[in-house]
Structure 1
């Protein structure tokens, strides 16, 4: 009997087009299974974690590839960059921007274990809240749980790549002087912070794109979830 019921629920799920449509069937499937003696909340939570783990892996792996980022110096530094190019020092600007992008790519690799730790610590209620939440529930969860840890991991990687340019110390000295100037509303010139902020913004944008794909087609993108919750019986 349980197999017939889960088969019916599976058929209904296959016809759903988004996560909003899936949620009532998840609730129905849970209730039916609970009545039959199954604890599907924990099984559903495990399946959601598997799906989110795969999605965050795709996001961090994609951004770790060479050419994934197209970072440039912050807008406030563009006048300086333009002047350097005008006087024949464009290679220094190119070298700096290349180091920025390599740093961002290498930092993206570090995101995967941070996301895995956040997923491992996710409670059943957290997981169920994500699947039943708003369009960006997973992205907001990851941002809240991982932002400070990601910054801590990204910063030394970005710094190490900028040091490879050979003029990192001069840049830091110039930045220290600049930040002490008595100028109101000074534009930001901190390249490290710019790279870290831009890298994280791009990463969470990619996470959001993965979440949108899951919500648009939960059966295709979350097949593990569907299989674990409704594939047995």
Structure 2
């Protein structure tokens, strides 16, 4: 027990430069309370609890995003027409092709919804790299600290793995076909500069961004609402912060 207490003190002191006195006292108080009550809040439990919180957020977030209209009818994560070629949308609407633009945007979001089904294992694999130091920092962080950590350390890796998934989904729902048709129609308009932006990159970035948004929402629930803590380890780890 003394050894566990000593290790926890070291991790808490390592955060001193990033925490206020009140936060440090609260951290130490939570550790003392847990140890004193026989709960034994170990570093292993902190890491396990945070990983479980992230996995829960990923599971709920990907489930929400992957249902029909999970992206398309959620204004928080809906993927719009690529902003870097907004002139394409504007011009096509001016010449009466707004319906084609709307159809493409819907299929673009359908592609993201389909791809979200495959996101869960990719994200969970990334979560396993979390260290003890990461866990303690996250535990005392903002409402979306775990999500921001995951975004910071895994975004490039996730994009590499997720891009072929989103590409397959876009092809499956014909979003790629609609996009090609739209760009072709635009490039045929006299006196316009040809465009050919990378749809796969854009859709991948926006789909991942949307998933992180939903995961952050889930993380906030776990931090703020005891009812959202659906296991004993989540209750124990996050109760020390209440």
Check whether TM > 0.5: yes
Structure-1 separation of matches of 2:183 and 2:92: 18
Unaligned runs of 5+ in 2: 1-22, 72-77, 188-192
Alpha-carbon shift at residue 143 of structure 1 (Å): 0.5
- Kindly tell me: are residues 40 and 161 of structure 1, through their superposed partners in 2, closer, same or farther at Cα, counting changes over 3 Å? closer
Q: 2:118 aligns with which of 100, 110, 113?
A: 110
Q: Tell me, yes or no, if the aligned pair for 1:23 and 1:131 is still in contact at 8 Å.
A: no
Q: 1:213 aligns with which of 214, 221, 239?
A: 221
Residue matched to 2:100: 92
Structure-2 separation of matches of 1:68 and 1:37: 40
Q: Tell me, yes or no, if the aligned pair for 1:71 and 1:101 is still in contact at 8 Å.
A: yes
Alpha-carbon shift at residue 58 of structure 1 (Å): 0.9
Structure-1 separation of matches of 2:162 and 2:183: 18
Pair 1:26 & 2:30 matched = yes
Q: Tell me, yes or no, if the aligned pair for 1:104 and 1:195 is still in contact at 8 Å.
A: yes
Residue matched to 1:48: 50
Question: Which structure carries more relative contact order (alpha carbon 8 Å, separation 6+)?
Answer: 1
Q: Tell me, yes or no, if the aligned pair for 1:56 and 1:112 is still in contact at 8 Å.
A: yes
Structure-1 separation of matches of 2:43 and 2:166: 41
- Kindly tell me: are residues 80 and 45 of structure 1, through their superposed partners in 2, closer, same or farther at Cα, counting changes over 3 Å? closer
Q: Tell me, yes or no, if the aligned pair for 1:114 and 1:146 is still in contact at 8 Å.
A: no
Unaligned runs of 5+ in 1: 1-19, 178-182
Aligned residues: 201
CA RMSD of aligned residues (A): 3.7
Please list, as runs of the form range in 1=range in 2, the aligned pairs for 1:1-233 lying within 5 A after superposition. 23-32=27-36, 40-69=42-71, 70-163=78-171, 164-165=174-175, 166=177, 189-217=197-225, 219-224=226-231, 225-227=233-235
Residue matched to 2:18: none
